[in-house]
Each structure stands twice: as C-alpha cells, then as structure tokens.
Amino acid sequence: MPTISVNKMIMMLLFFACFSACELERHTNVDRNRFSFKAGNDTKTFFHNIRSIYYDRQTIPNTQVVAYRFKDRPQDSTRLALSPVIVANWETYDCLLLLEATQEYDSLSIQIKNANKVDTLHLYTKARNAVLEFSASIYESILAKDTLVFLPDKNSVFKTENEADVFRKVFSDYARLTRIF
C-alpha cells in the first residue's frame, strides 16, 4: 500500500491553500461608497507578487507611474472593444482605472439587457469617477450574465466569454488594489 509522507501532505495542503487564496472572488455588487483611487502598501504587495504576472507593464521614464494592461486583452482594431487599464503612481499610491478602446470614441453608450429590464449606460467623459462608475456597472452586468451591446449599432461589447472575463479580472484587481472589495 503506497504511503504519503507527512512532508508531502503538508506541501500539498500549503499548495491548495495558496492556490485557493489567490483565486479572484466574484463580488456581485460594487459598493460605490468605497470608491477609492489610493492603493495600500499591503494591496500593492499582493498585486505585485500575485497578480501583476498577468499584465504587460508600461512605465513612464523617470517616474514611478506604471500602466498595467492585461496580457490577454482584445486587440482587434476592426471592431470596438474595451479593455480596462490600471494606472498606478507608486510614489503617491494613486491608482486609476482607465478604459482603452481598440477604436477612438468621444462617448460610449451600452445597453444592458436581462430577463427583467433594459438599461442604458453612458460614458460622456473620461473623468476618473465616471470611468470607474461605468466600469463597475459593466462588471456587475458580466457577473449577472446580462447581455451588453454598444449603441447605436447593437454590436456585442464582448465578442467572447474570455473578453468578458478579462474585463472582470482587471476590474476585480483594481477593486482589490484600492480596497473597494
């Protein structure tokens, strides 16, 4: 009968504990009262050590400002696609969530459809509060499995489930970094 040593069992338990601790939580509602644009030292350490490996980094020379773009983001410029970007100034611990698009836009309108109702989101400005609110609504809609389409053309916001999952992961990382979650 095969035996497993105590050391192997401890290592397996540590591995599973670490693996489960690193999994992104799926918060269904975003508490708008907790919106913040500041990272903490502990959240920065977690992001750097655990989550930043999934991101391409772009640093502004001679500063501590870094833009984090998810490596598996949509890049097809033949259609409009949104990709959230975390921008952090590690000197002041200021963090922003920006929305990059594969095509230029002045404003965005997205229709959210679920079984009960139809809502419309508008982004008229790229101000940090407006982008964060807009992104939070998209995040909640992804988790609710709502249908999201751009207006007026009715093209899907996310071509694949992977694109929606990338958006969800980046928003979740930002929310954890700034203690919204």
Structural domain total, the chain: 1
Angle at the Cα of 133 (from 130 to 139), degrees rounded to 5? 140
Q: Residue 59 domain-assigned? A: yes
* Token pair listed for 148: 């999201």
Q: How confident is the model at residue 18 (pLDDT cuts 50, 70, 90)?
A: very low
Within 10 angstroms of residue 69's Cβ, the number of other Cβ atoms is: 19
Q: Residue 151 domain-assigned? A: yes
| pLDDT for res 25 | 57
Phi, psi angle pair for 97, to nearest 5°: -110, 115
Which one-letter DSSP state was computed for residue 47?
I
| pLDDT for res 17 | 47
pTM for the predicted model, two decimal places: 0.84
| pLDDT for res 106 | 87
pLDDT in tens, 63-113: 999 999 999 999 888 999 999 999 999 999 999 999 999 988 889 999 999
- In sequence order, which residues have a C-beta less than 8 Å from that of residue 157 and are 6 or more positions away? 81, 82, 110, 138, 148, 149, 150, 164
Q: In this model, does residue 2 exceed pLDDT 50?
A: yes
Q: Residue 72 domain-assigned? A: yes
Q: Residue 1 domain-assigned? A: no
State the residue range of the domain holding 140. 6-177
Residue 146 three-state SS: coil
